[in-house]
Structure 1
Amino acid sequence: MSGNYFDNKIQHLDVELQGLLDLPMVEKIICHNATEYNFRINKPQRLNVTSQEKAYNNSNEINIGYGVTYNPTKSPHILISGGTGSGKSMFMSFLLIEFLKQKSTTYLCDPKNSDLGSLSNYFGDKYVATTPNNIARVIRLAVDEMKSRYDYMNENFIYGSNFETHGFKPVWILFDEIGAFQAYGTDKKSKEIINETMDRIKQIILLGRQAGCFILITGQQINANNLSTELRDNFSLRVSLGFNSSEGLRMMFGSATPDVTIPIEVKGAGLLYLHGNGKEQAHYYESPYIDSEQFNFIEELKKYIPEQSRE
Structure 2
Amino acid sequence: MEGKEISLLDRYTDWYSIMKNLEVFLHILFILLMITIFLTSAGAWSFMLVTLIAYVAILVHKVMKKKRNRIAKKHFIKDRLVYFIKANSLYEEGIRESEQRDNQGRWKTVREKYISNSAVFSYEQTDRKLIVYAHKNADNFTAKMSQLEEGLSALFGLPVERVVNRNTLVEYHLVIAPPERLDVSVISEISMVDGLDINLGYGVTYNPVKCPHILVSGGTGSGKSVFISFLLLEFIRRESTVYICDPKASDLGSLSHYIGDEKIATTPNNIARVVRLVVTEMKERYAFMNANFKYGSNFADHNYSPIWLVFDEMGAFQASGTDKKSKELVNEVMDGLKQVILLGRQSGIFCLISAQQMNANTLNTDLRDNLGLRIALGANSSEGYRMIFGSATPENIPPIETKGAGLLYMQGSGEECAKYWESPYVDMKKFDFIAELKKLL
Structure-1-length-normalised TM-score = 0.95
Match of 2:392 in 1: 256
Task: Name which of 174, 179, 185 aligns with 1:39.
Answer: 174
Distance of 1:17 and 1:261 partners within structure 2: 17
Match of 1:115 in 2: 251
Distance of 1:222 and 1:32 partners within structure 2: 34
Distance of 1:160 and 1:64 partners within structure 2: 28
By how many angstroms is 1:5 displaced? 4.1
Distance of 2:287 and 2:280 partners within structure 1: 11
Superposition pairs of residues 1-311 of structure 1, within 5 angstroms: 1-50=136-185, 52-305=188-441
Unpaired segments of 5 or more residues in structure 2? 1-135
Secondary structure of 1:290's aligned partner: coil
Distance of 1:201 and 1:243 partners within structure 2: 27
Secondary structure of 1:126's aligned partner: helix
Instruction: Show CA shifts across 1:83-120 (max 9, x none).
Output: 11000001000000000001111001100111111111
Secondary structure of 1:69's aligned partner: strand
By how many angstroms is 1:53 displaced? 3.3
Q: Which has the higher helix share?
A: 2
Distance of 2:351 and 2:182 partners within structure 1: 23
By how many angstroms is 1:198 displaced? 0.1
Which amino acid is the alignment partner of residue 35 of structure 1?
Answer: V
Bigger mean CA offset, 30-39 vs 296-305: 30-39
Which amino acid is the alignment partner of residue 62 of structure 1?
Answer: I
Bigger mean CA offset, 182-191 vs 36-45: 36-45
Distance of 2:382 and 2:157 partners within structure 1: 24
* RMSD (Å) for aligned C-alpha atoms: 1.2
By how many angstroms is 1:4 displaced? 4.3
Instruction: Show CA shifts across 1:256-279 (max 9, x none).
Output: 111222111110001111111111
Match of 2:116 in 1: none
Bigger mean CA offset, 44-53 vs 78-87: 44-53
Higher RCO (C-alpha 8 Å, min separation 6):
1
Q: Which has the larger radius of gyration?
A: 2
Which amino acid is the alignment partner of residue 406 of structure 2?
Answer: G
Distance of 1:213 and 1:128 partners within structure 2: 17
Conserved? CA contact 1:26–1:260, under 8 Å: no
Match of 1:308 in 2: none
Conserved? CA contact 1:170–1:213, under 8 Å: yes
Conserved? CA contact 1:27–1:260, under 8 Å: no
Which amino acid is the alignment partner of residue 122 of structure 1?
Answer: Y
Identity of aligned residues (%): 59
By how many angstroms is 1:6 displaced? 2.9
Unpaired segments of 5 or more residues in structure 1? 306-311
Distance of 1:301 and 1:210 partners within structure 2: 27
Instruction: Show CA shifts across 1:142-165 (max 9, x none).
Output: 000000000110111111110000
Distance of 2:390 and 2:439 partners within structure 1: 39
Tell me the matched-pair count.
305
Secondary structure of 1:133's aligned partner: helix
By how many angstroms is 1:210 displaced? 0.3
Q: Deviating runs (4+, > 6 A) in structure 1?
A: none
By how many angstroms is 1:38 displaced? 1.3
Conserved? CA contact 1:26–1:262, under 8 Å: no
Structure-2-length-normalised TM-score = 0.68
Secondary structure of 2:299's aligned partner: coil
Bigger mean CA offset, 242-251 vs 48-57: 48-57
Secondary structure of 1:152's aligned partner: helix
Distance of 1:130 and 1:145 partners within structure 2: 21
